[in-house]
Structures are given as structure tokens and as C-alpha cells.
Structure 1
Amino acid sequence: MTHRISVRNAAVDDVEAIYTLLEPFAEKNIILARDRDNLYQHLQEFLVAEYDGVLCGVVAVHIYGENLAEIRSLVVSPEFQKHGVGRLLVEGCEKWLAVLGVARVFALTYVTGFFERMGFAVVSRESLPQKVWTVCVHCARFADCDEIAVEKRLSDAPIQPMRILPILEIDEP
């Protein structure tokens, strides 16, 4: 039997499923907790993965500036792990960032092997700009952080964004 895995931008109707997916990982302090209001406020940063139509994975991308973005809240439901869902979510982030013109992406993670297989390299947390830590101060582990920073250069120079197509166009008489 063939299974279909797709990655798309999150929609308002996905918020409850995203919350349900993230919550057990936040309770184990694997990711930072997000309440529903936070999800609505940052919904434009999220991609979701569906496996045969079932929402099974989520990731957020936060852009810090012209050449730096972070992969956040990468979670795949345990029953859908080892099917390539996480890889597809990260690849979706990379394509999205290339369209936007971002040259470098990083993540703070406990699973460096996964990211290294995707072309990321371990870097010192101190190499990341201070503004990255504005979210970290809310973490219970801030003073004793054990996450590892990984980074991938999508380009050695700023990427020229792909042409962004208009959402609506009309011809006025």
C-alpha cells in the first residue's frame, strides 16, 4: 500500500491538532510550551505534515534577520516517526527560507544526528546572535541549557529571493 506524506503551511483549523501534538513534548521539556493563543499569534511560522491525511508533524520557522532563521518546535507524533516526516518538514523549511532569501538556518536540539544527516553542523551556542536568546530566557533550563546548536548554510552569500507572486491582481479599465 502506498502512503502519502505532504507538508503544507498551517491553517487556523490546524491549531487544536498542533497544540495536541506539541503538548506531550513540552511536558517532557523537549520543546518550549506554547498555548493556543501563542499558536494563533505565530501560525504564519508553522508548517504541518500529514500522513494519509492525518496531521502527524509540525515545525515552526522564526526569522531573525536577512540571513538567519531558526527551526523551532519540530515534532513528529511517535506513531509516525521513522517514516521520513521530520526530514520532509525540515526540507520544507529550507525551501521556504530559500524563497524568502534567508541564507542560514539553525536549531537548538537534543537530536544532533538527525540534523547532521540533513547537512547541519554542530556549532557553539555562543556563535549565535544574542537576540536568539530572547526566547531562551523563558525556558526552565535556561541557566543550565543542554541543547546543542546546529547550523546549515543554505548559501555562502545572501540568497536572492525567488520572485514572489502576487496574491491578487486585477486589471483596471
Structure 2
Amino acid sequence: MINYQKAKLSDIKNMQELVLPEIESGIILNRSNDEVATNIRSYTLCFKDGELIGFCALHIHTEYLAEIRSLIVKEGFRGQKTGENLVKTCLVEAQNLGLQKVLCLTYRQPFFERLGFVEIPKESLPEHKIWADCIKCKHFPVCNEVSLIKTL
């Protein structure tokens, strides 16, 4: 049985273990345990039979704009709509919060386009996003990620 739930502080160790290969490959930014703890309310986790198989975060930037970030699905569970359901869960949360738009930076453009996101110029991203997150990336300033947005 698969279930989706908000993260707890006790989940951080398993979250960090799951995301480590994607951090090492440069796909996902490294976030310290303290940073994850500070933002724990933004994470939605996916479990199958008690095993953590994926998660993502809905990070709020402004009163109208949030970001889907840190989307990860464990090898062996990809291609089964787990990531899609995680994103959809976050989009429902965004709507319930009254947000108007959700953005993402991704190497998986077709995945997000299937969910209704459309490409936007990176120059339109909030400046604080670049200086808070992008500057920590090993690919900065030469980034191949695509920025997309969905209007709710």
C-alpha cells in the first residue's frame, strides 16, 4: 500500500539517505539536516509498506508563488506515477494555501510539462531564489536546468 504524508523530523535521516545519489550526481542540491529540519513542513513523503520511496517539497517564496523542489523517487519505484502523485499532492496543498503559481527548476522538463507546467525564462525567477539556492549548486552559473511554472 502506498501512502503520502507530511514529513516528521524523525524522517530526516531516511530522507538524506534516499536523496544522496542525486546530490552526488548534481541533480538535487545538498541540504543540511538543519536546513531540512527548518523546512520540514514543506516536505511530502511517499511510503510503500512502511518504506520511504520518495518525497518532494513545496517551498513558498511569496504569498502567491511557491516552488516544487527536491523531488526524488527511489530506483525501482520510478515510472509508476509516484513522482507525479507527489507533485499533484503538493499542487493541491498549494491551492489550499491560496497560492497562484508554482515553479520548478528541473532536468526533467517533459515530466513537468505533462503536469501542466510551461517553460519560462530563468531571468524571470525571483532573485532570492538564485542567491539562496542556485549559488550553492556545483553547476552555478552554467546551469542546464529548465525553469517552468504552473498557474493554479
TM > 0.5:
yes
C-alpha RMSD of matched pairs (Å): 1.0
Q: 1:140 aligns with which of 105, 119, 138?
A: 138
Matching residue of 2:63: 66
Q: CA shift at 1:138, angstroms?
A: 1.3
For 1:103-122, what aligned pairs fall within 5 Å after superposition? 103-122=100-119
Query: Whole-Å Cα distance in 1 between the matches of residues 16 and 53 of structure 2?
Result: 12
Q: How many residues align?
A: 151
Matched to 1:67, the amino acid is: Y
Matching residue of 2:80: 83
Matching residue of 2:39: 42
Query: Whole-Å Cα distance in 1 between the matches of residues 151 and 71 of structure 2?
Result: 19
Matched to 2:21, the amino acid is: P
Aligned-residue sequence identity (percent) comes to 36
Query: Whole-Å Cα distance in 1 between the matches of residues 49 and 104 of structure 2?
Result: 28
Write out per-residue CA displacement over residues 134-173 of structure 1, whole angstroms, 9 at most, x where no aligned residue.
211111211101100011001xxxxxxxxxxxxxxxxxxx
- Give ranges in structure 2 of 5+ residues lacking alignment: none
Q: CA shift at 1:53, angstroms?
A: 2.4
- Give ranges in structure 1 of 5+ residues lacking alignment: 155-173
Matched to 1:34, the amino acid is: R
Write out per-residue CA displacement over residues 95-137 of structure 1, whole angstroms, 9 at most, x where no aligned residue.
1111111010010000001001111111111122212212111
Query: Whole-Å Cα distance in 1 between the matches of residues 129 and 9 of structure 2?
Result: 27
Query: Whole-Å Cα distance in 2 between the matches of residues 106 and 145 of structure 1?
Result: 16
Normalised by the size of structure 1, how large is the TM-score? 0.84
Name the stretch that deviates more: 49-58 or 73-82. 49-58
Normalised by the size of structure 2, how large is the TM-score? 0.95
Q: Does 1:131 align with 2:133?
A: no
Computing the radius of gyration over CA atoms, which structure comes out larger, 1 or 2?
A: 1
